[in-house]
Amino acid sequence: MKTVTIIGLGLIGGSLAISLQEQGLVTHRIGVDLSAENRQQALALGLVDEASADLAAAVRRADLVVVAVPMDAMLTVLPQVLDAVDHQVVIDVGSTKSMLLAAVAGHPRRGRFVAVHPMAGTEFSGPAAAVAGLFDDKTLVICDAAQSDADAVATVEQLFTRLNMRIEYLDAAAHDLHTAYVSHISHITSFALALTVLKKEKEEQQIFALASGGFASTVRLAKSSPAMWVPIFRQNRVNVLDVLDEHIQQLQHLRQLIDADDAAALHQQIEQANLISKILK
Amino acid sequence: MKTVTIIGLGLIGGSLAISLQEQGLVTHRIGVDLSAENRQQALALGLVDEASADLAAAVRRADLVVVAVPMDAMLTVLPQVLDAVDHQVVIDVGSTKSMLLAAVAGHPRRGRFVAVHPMAGTEFSGPAAAVAGLFDDKTLVICDAAQSDADAVATVEQLFTRLNMRIEYLDAAAHDLHTAYVSHISHITSFALALTVLKKEKEEQQIFALASGGFASTVRLAKSSPAMWVPIFRQNRVNVLDVLDEHIQQLQHLRQLIDADDAAALHQQIEQANLISKILK
Per CATH, which fold does A175-279 belong to?
6-phosphogluconate dehydrogenase C-terminal fold (1.10.3660)
Q: What is the pLDDT of residue B209?
A: 76
CB B148 within 8 A of CB B119: no
Q: How far is B225 from chain A (nearest CA, A)?
A: 8
Chain B: closest CA distance from residue A97 (Å): 15
**Contact between B272 and A209 using a beta-carbon 8 Å cutoff:** no
- Interchain proximity B218–A215, CB inside 8 Å: no
What was the pLDDT predicted at A112? 98
pLDDT for the residue numbered A204? 52
Q: Give the domain ranges of chain B.
A: 3-171, 175-279
A105: Cβ contacts below 8 Å, ≥ 6 apart: A147
Which pLDDT does position A13 carry in this prediction?
A: 97
With residue A190 as reference, give the H or E element that holds it: helix A185-201
A24: left (phi over 0), alpha (psi -120 to 50) or beta: left
Q: Which of residues 145-204 of B touch A (CB under 8 A)?
A: 166, 168, 170, 174, 177-179, 181-183, 185-201, 204
At A213 the pLDDT is 81
Q: What number is the ipTM of this complex?
A: 0.94
Contact A262/B at CB under 8 A: no
The verdict on A265 touching B (C-beta cutoff 8 Å) is no
The confidence band for B204, taking pLDDT boundaries of 50, 70 and 90, is low
Measured from the Cβ of residue A137, the count of other Cβ atoms closer than 10 Å reads 10
Q: Please count the residue pairs, one from chain A and one from chain B, whose beta carbons lie less than 8 angstroms apart.
A: 305
Chain B hits for A213, CB-CB cut-off 8 Å, are 120-122
Check CB contact under 8 Å for A121 and B213.
Answer: yes
Nearest chain A Cα to B264, which residue?
A230
Nearest CA in chain B to A263: B230
Q: Which of A184, A204, A212 to mutate to test the interface with B (most CBs of B within 10 A)?
A: A212
Q: Using a CB-CB distance cutoff of 8 angstroms, which residues of chain A are in contact with residue B216? A: 280
Which residue type sits at A145?
A
Nearest CA in chain A to B134: A213
What residues have CB less than 8 Å from B10, skipping those under 6 apart? B38, B68, B125, B126, B127, B129, B130, B228
Amino acid at A228: M
DSSP 3-state percent helix, strand, coil across chain B (nearest 5): 60, 15, 30
**In one letter, which amino acid is B236?**
N
CA dist B239 and B241 (Å) reads 5
Q: Tell me if A3-170 shares its fold with A175-279.
A: no
pLDDT of A67 reads: 98
The amino acid at residue B56 is: A
Superfamily of structural domain B3-171 = NAD(P)-binding Rossmann-like Domain (3.40.50.720)
Per-residue pLDDT of chain A (281 residues; tens, 9 = 90+): 699 999 999 999 999 999 999 999 999 999 999 999 999 999 999 999 999 999 999 999 999 999 999 999 999 999 999 999 999 999 999 999 999 999 999 999 999 999 999 999 999 999 999 999 999 999 999 999 999 999 999 999 999 999 999 999 999 999 999 999 989 999 999 999 999 999 986 655 566 678 878 888 999 999 999 999 999 999 999 999 999 999 999 999 999 999 999 999 999 999 999 999 888 76
pLDDT above 90 as % of chain B: 90
| Contact list, A275 vs chain B (CB under 8 Å) | 194, 198
A139-143/A113-118 β-pairing: antiparallel
- Cβ-defined contact of A197 to B276 (cutoff 8 Å): yes
CATH number assigned to the domain with residue range A3-170, chosen from the 4 options 3.40.50.360, 3.20.10.10, 3.40.50.720, 2.40.50.140: 3.40.50.720
Identify the pLDDT of residue B280. 78
How far is C-alpha A42 from the geometric centre of its chain's CA atoms? 19
- Whole-angstrom distance, CA of residue A13 vs CA of residue B172: 49
Q: Quote the percentage of chain B above a pLDDT of 70.
A: 96
Query: Would an 8 Å CB–CB cutoff place A102 in contact with chain B?
Result: no
Spatial separation of the C-alpha atoms in residues A16 and A10, rounded to whole Å: 10
Stretch B261-278: mean pLDDT: 96
**Does the distance separating the beta carbons of B214 and A221 come in below 8 Å?**
yes
Coil, helix or strand for A226? Answer: helix
| Contact between residue A224 and residue B277 where contact means Cβ atoms under 8 Å apart | no
Would you call B119 an interface residue with chain A, using a CB distance cutoff of 8 Å? yes
Closest in A216, A222, A248 to B248, CB measured:
A248
Contacts of B219 in chain A (CB under 8 A): 186, 276, 280
pLDDT value for B134 = 96
Lowest mean per-residue pLDDT among A213-217, B113-117, B186-190, B198-202: B198-202
* Residue to test with chain B: of A134, A261, A280, most B Cβ within 10 A: A280
Distance separating alpha carbons of residues A157 and A152, to the nearest angstrom = 9
Q: What is the pLDDT of residues B83-139, one digit of tens each?
A: 999 999 999 999 999 999 999 999 999 999 999 999 999 999 999 999 999 999 999
- Cα(B171)–Cα(A195) distance, rounded to whole angstroms? 26
Contact B189 A218 (CB under 8 A): yes
Q: Is the dihedral of CA B46, B50, B54, B60 positive or negative?
A: negative
